[in-house]
Amino acid sequence: MPNLLLSFVTFVAYVLLAAYFWRANACADCDARWRGAVGHLTLIPITLHGYLLWQGIFAGGGFDLGVYNALSLIAWLTLLVYWVARFFYPIGGLQALVLPMAAVTLLLPGVFPADHQLAHTDMLAFKIHIAVAMLAYSLFTIAMVHAILISLVEKRLRHATLPRVLRNLPPLMTMETLLFRMIGIGFVLLTLTLASGILFSEEIFGKVWQFNHKILFGFISWCVFAVLLYGHYFYGWRGKIAVRWTVSGFVFLMMAYLGSKFVLEQLLHR
């Protein structure tokens, strides 16, 4: 019951903050100082969400990283990275987009309760592998959000109309810089995730490495992002090309982990 109440309070806080930032983004006369002050308050529901994740994932001394806990964790990490990045880049307005995502995923483990305890969770190598993988997914989620926004803004600019809610977004150059920065860091983490899973499979998962659909989609995603980074730094790829490759890589990455977990847990009940 305490966790249920805490989930409700955190959800309401996310919704109220999201509503405020949406309104602030659409308001040309709103004081930026107020947006900054309210942005600091976002740390409160982020902290509560983190506590709830800790309780849910490590319940009963195990390690439950089912599909809904994983989604909630990725959304939480995404929001946390945004919250930290706002101190270095003018991206405060983007919180309006990730707060609703965090609010929805916060409720998923409670609405769809399940118990999917993982084995070998006491091993340090396993914990590092999972932590690096989740951080990589969160960074690519941020890249996906930026890619969609860049596409929307470019389309609107060509038609000389830009909705108020998009007018307070960072400049396109700033968003593109952040896009490739997130992809670059995420690519390094994804490389470490795939390499550790292949080279140290027996130490991490307790079994010899086997090629499966998860590895296949993960490797395809890695190749997509590798080509995108190469094209950007050597041929100046940006705009539509960057958006298409980012979306493609993100889709393959989600199919690699969350897609397989959803099929196994929700459809096959394994």
Across the range 23-41, mean pLDDT stands at: 68
Query: What pLDDT score was predicted for residue 95?
Result: 80
The token pair that represents 166 in the structure block = 């998009």
51-60, 74-83, 224-233, 241-250: which range is least confident on average?
51-60
Least trusted range by pLDDT, from 2-16, 30-44, 133-147, 189-203? 30-44
Average pLDDT value for residue range 87-101? 81
Q: What is the 8-class DSSP label of residue 161?
A: -
Contacts of 215-220 with C-beta under 8 Å, sequence gap 24+, read 215/256, 216/256, 217/252, 217/253, 217/255, 217/256, 217/259, 217/260, 218/190, 218/193, 218/194, 218/252, 218/253, 218/256, 218/257, 219/194, 220/252, 220/256
Mean pLDDT of 84-98: 79
Split at pLDDT 50, 70, 90, the class of 268 is very low
Query: Who wins on pLDDT, 173 or 106?
Result: 106
Contact 120, 205 (CB under 8 A): yes
Q: Do the beta carbons of residue 153 and residue 166 sit within 8 Å?
A: yes
How many H helices and E strands in the chain? Answer: 12, 0
Summarize the confidence of residues 53-74 as an average pLDDT. Answer: 80
The yes-or-no verdict on residue 97 having pLDDT over 70 is yes
Q: Which range is most confident: 98-112, 131-145, 216-230? A: 216-230
Task: Please check the confidence at residue 99 and state whether its pLDDT lies above 80.
Answer: yes
Highest mean pLDDT among 81-95, 117-131, 172-186: 172-186
Position 196 scores a pLDDT of 82
Instruction: Give mean pLDDT, residues 119-141.
Output: 81
- pLDDT for res 168: 67
